[in-house]
Structure 1
Amino acid sequence: MPAPSSAALGLRIETARAAARLSRRELAERSGISPSMIQKVGDGRRIPSDQVLGALAAALGTTPEDLLDGPGRTDSRVHQAVPELQRTIVAYDLPEDGPVRPVDQLAADVEVAVEDRVQSQYVRLGEQAPALLAELFRAVDQTCGREREEAARLLALAVRSADAVAYKYGYRDLSARLVELMRWAAGIAGDPALTAAGEYVRMETFFAARQLAPGLRSLREALDRMPAPATERLAAAAAALHMRAAVAAGRMRQADDARDHLREAEALAGRVQERLYDGTAVGPDSLEIHRLSVAVELGEEADLQGAVAAASRWAPPRTLSAERRSHYYIDLSRAQMQLGRPQHAAESLLVARQIAPLHVREHGQVRTELATMVRLTRGRDEQVLALARWAKAV
């Protein structure tokens, strides 16, 4: 892992200090480091030497590694499953001989994997995905014609589910490989709606690399390549791409583009029923959730006020997946923080945790937000501090 910037390291030290309920002077007394040095390090103006970092970590009850890399990993069972997933995909196009069940049985297992993904059941998904992927690789290798296309379609959906484990738990290189595998399988399937779903998922890699401009360009090119949305699946696929493009444009602070994409998504989403299409939730409710996401990314007060006010009148229905509903409350919390309402933000995160705990716990923006709350409350809000420790934000 690359060394953190002085600002990032300073924020981690300040968060740990707040969690320990120490003033800078008290930290200086415990560590033997001067108050002026602690202030410079905390403000991101100085990178501490190994000796200074070690003294600060000891005084804060943590380790230099945690301060440099961030808090430790969470669910060990997921991390234990990742090496087998990595081994499974190495020779995806050269699978060993082995049994392949009938397509209806494979489809049933893929449906379970997709459901585990959208319900944030990452432990079970991580443990079961390698065997399913290995069998689907064999199915694609051993079949031809329509049967091969169907096997490839199922493989694309299964790979997408496996990618959720890699992406959520920070295995960015593995996630990028899985995304390319999904696109490879979608190409074999020859299905434009599934191909669009692959481009939707690919945006993860651009978000992770903070390469928003090429990512937004890739979404627009995918939309240009799509056939006319004459079917429900194609309309849903196009709506999903527009919703994702709206979020990307919002994060880039391109307000006009973000709103244009939302309008396009609205026209398309109004033509489909709310449900999963090739693994992506699309429909009127998903559109409302993306409206909030775009408002948060743009960060304009009027939009934030309107989104928070709308949240008092509307909530995502229980028929939506746990991941989608929890994401709504995560974004609501972010909006409330931007409006200076940290108590409301904490309450929204508690709702999100109740819906999908693993999704919330592994969400990078949640950790950042909780660290900010700990600093703002100086570690004195027990509920916030407990939530931050649970999420490994401190």
Structure 2
Amino acid sequence: MSDYEPDEGRFVGRQVRAIRARRGISQQVLADRVGLSRGAIAKYENGERPVDSRRVLYALAQALGVTVGDLTGHEQDKLDPSAAGFHMSVPDIETALWTEGNATPTGPPRTLDELATAAQHAAKLRIDTDYAALGPMIAPMLTDCYRYLRDATGADRDRAWDVLATIAHTTAAALKARGYPALSWTAAQQAERAAEAIGGTAALAATAFARSQVLLARPGSLPSALAYAEDTAERIAPDVRTLGEVETLGMLHLQASLVTAAMGGDPEPHLAAAAEQADRLPHAEPGTSILRNPTFGKANVALWRMSAAMERREPGQVLRLAPTLSPAELPAEGRRAQYFVEIGRAYAMQRNYRDSLYALLRAEHAAPQHVRNMTHVRELVGHMMRSARSELTTGELGRLAQRVGAVPA
């Protein structure tokens, strides 16, 4: 054990203990509500065991009558200095969404060609998890798009709806990732509005994916998260032909696999369905919509298979799957970071903290803004600080703990 004191730093169990005490609930009562042993609750509260699964995290939040953010330090997560540019842009994004661009104009809008190019660049920034660069771009793009929808007619108006579908989906995904679920839901509603206007299945799939992602982070909402993904996938499947449609349908099945795993079910049927869509990619029609998800493919299916196994608390399966996938095959830094995060979580579950640290450092190097904001990473690093040998805690692990906010900087 290290010299790190159990009550230092920030971890979910500490918040559970504080909220439980304020509620006047005993450990046994909380354990009964969650369906765990009193000893398990004690280990979570003392920092001897990390809360490293959605099922336990959501169950604790529900039993205590609080939000997940109350347990994870949600508001503090927004203070990540590496993404300050994004957070400073949120009020402008909020205004653009609420007013639908009916705000004081600062000049003529960009051409539709320029706007489409900007939307595709923004989508790439989001995939690469460069939120600091992405944030300031969103509100002006939304405003310009809404102005076209008010003033344009015919083909230009149809194209503006297509661009809005892409921008709104990017906005919803970024807001959800940075801790703004309610505003993310508003952006998803705008994406759905665009989907209804253009009738494209890719836009419908992207909207359902965004909604399911938001609901996945909400205790008690997993059945709804699964329904959004499953029902939409079933409804659009007969009409999917173009490249963007195949990609977004495949991502819906991957999302459904993760929600199913989080609910304790078997994710394999959805993973198999996603693999079938990946096989269709080489033969899919190009399509005219700019809405795409180029991260989808066989490598991404393999990555989500690892994530589903981790969600089911099967570290051995994660480590068996890892060598079958080269991170170089993954098409974005955020995906490569996720690959190493899952490996790190698996090693930590087996108490191999040295290899876990090595994997987490590689994840942070790939996508620092993304990884430093992940609740699972913060919780895991804090646990290792309380459990690992002192030569780790005083070196790279200690510095990582400061960067992710597991201990005071």
TM-score range normalised by the length of the shorter chain: 0.7 to 0.9
Instruction: Identify the residue that residue 296 of structure 2 maps to in structure 1.
Output: 282
- Aligned partners of 1:148 and 1:189 also within 8 Å: no
Q: CA deviation at 1:86?
A: 1.4
Hey, what's the Cα distance between the residues in 2 that align with 1:148 and 1:142? 8
Q: Alignment partner for residue 143 of structure 2, among 127, 134, 139?
A: 134
Change (3 A) 1:277 1:271: farther
Q: Alignment partner for residue 366 of structure 2, among 349, 355, 358?
A: 355
- Say whether 1:216 aligns with 2:222: no
Q: CA deviation at 1:173?
A: 1.6
With normalisation by structure 1, the TM-score equals: 0.78
Instruction: Identify the residue that residue 62 of structure 1 maps to in structure 2.
Output: none
Which sits farther off after the overlay, 372-381 or 271-280? 271-280
- Say whether 1:74 aligns with 2:80: yes
Instruction: Identify the residue that residue 387 of structure 1 maps to in structure 2.
Output: 400
Mapping for residues 1-394 of structure 1, pairs under 5 Å: 7-9=13-15, 43=46, 71=76, 73-75=79-81, 76-92=84-100, 94=102, 99-210=108-219, 211-228=221-238, 229-255=240-266, 258-273=267-282, 278-279=292-293, 281-300=295-314, 304-317=315-328, 320-377=331-388, 381=393, 382-394=395-407
Q: Which amino acid aligns with 2:15?
A: L
Q: CA deviation at 1:329?
A: 1.4
Q: Relative CO higher for 1 or 2, CA cutoff 8 Å, sep ≥ 6?
A: 2
Q: Which amino acid aligns with 2:158?
A: E
Change (3 A) 1:291 1:6: closer
- Aligned partners of 2:378 and 2:406 also within 8 Å: yes
Hey, what's the Cα distance between the residues in 2 that align with 1:67 and 1:197? 27
Between structure 1 and structure 2, the one with the greater Rg is: 1
CA-atom RMSD in angstroms? 3.2
Hey, what's the Cα distance between the residues in 1 that align with 2:350 and 2:215? 28
1:226 aligned counterpart, secondary structure: helix
- Aligned partners of 1:196 and 1:222 also within 8 Å: yes
With normalisation by structure 2, the TM-score equals: 0.75
Q: Which amino acid aligns with 1:74?
A: D
Q: CA deviation at 1:289?
A: 0.7
Hey, what's the Cα distance between the residues in 1 that align with 2:129 and 2:223? 29
Instruction: Identify the residue that residue 55 of structure 1 maps to in structure 2.
Output: none
Q: CA deviation at 1:145?
A: 3.1
> What are the ranges of 5 or more consecutive residues in structure 2 without an aligned counterpart?
1-9, 20-41, 48-69
Hey, what's the Cα distance between the residues in 2 that align with 1:330 and 1:127? 28
Which sits farther off after the overlay, 127-136 or 180-189? 180-189
Percent of pairs identical after alignment?
A: 23
Which sits farther off after the overlay, 128-137 or 228-237? 228-237
Q: CA deviation at 1:296?
A: 0.6
Change (3 A) 1:318 1:206: same
Q: Which amino acid aligns with 1:139?
A: Y
Q: Which amino acid aligns with 1:218?
A: Y
**Residues 209-255 of structure 1 deviation map (CA, whole Å, 9 limit, x = unaligned):** 13111110111110121042344333323221111100110111102
- Aligned partners of 1:95 and 1:141 also within 8 Å: no
Q: Which amino acid aligns with 2:336?
A: R
Q: CA deviation at 1:8?
A: 4.1
2:281 aligned counterpart, secondary structure: coil
- Aligned partners of 2:142 and 2:164 also within 8 Å: yes
Hey, what's the Cα distance between the residues in 2 that align with 1:340 and 1:146? 59
Hey, what's the Cα distance between the residues in 2 that align with 1:188 and 1:334? 43
**Residues 115-170 of structure 1 deviation map (CA, whole Å, 9 limit, x = unaligned):** 11111111111112111111011112222333222211111211222234322221
Q: CA deviation at 1:324?
A: 1.5
- Aligned partners of 2:382 and 2:406 also within 8 Å: yes
Hey, what's the Cα distance between the residues in 2 that align with 1:41 and 1:323? 29
Change (3 A) 1:207 1:227: closer
> What are the ranges of 5 or more consecutive residues in structure 1 without an aligned counterpart?
14-38, 45-64
Change (3 A) 1:234 1:127: closer
- Aligned partners of 1:10 and 1:43 also within 8 Å: no
1:244 aligned counterpart, secondary structure: helix
Hey, what's the Cα distance between the residues in 2 that align with 1:318 and 1:40? 39
Hey, what's the Cα distance between the residues in 2 that align with 1:6 and 1:313? 33
Hey, what's the Cα distance between the residues in 1 that align with 2:85 and 2:11? 31
Which sits farther off after the overlay, 163-172 or 375-384? 375-384
- Aligned partners of 2:264 and 2:312 also within 8 Å: yes
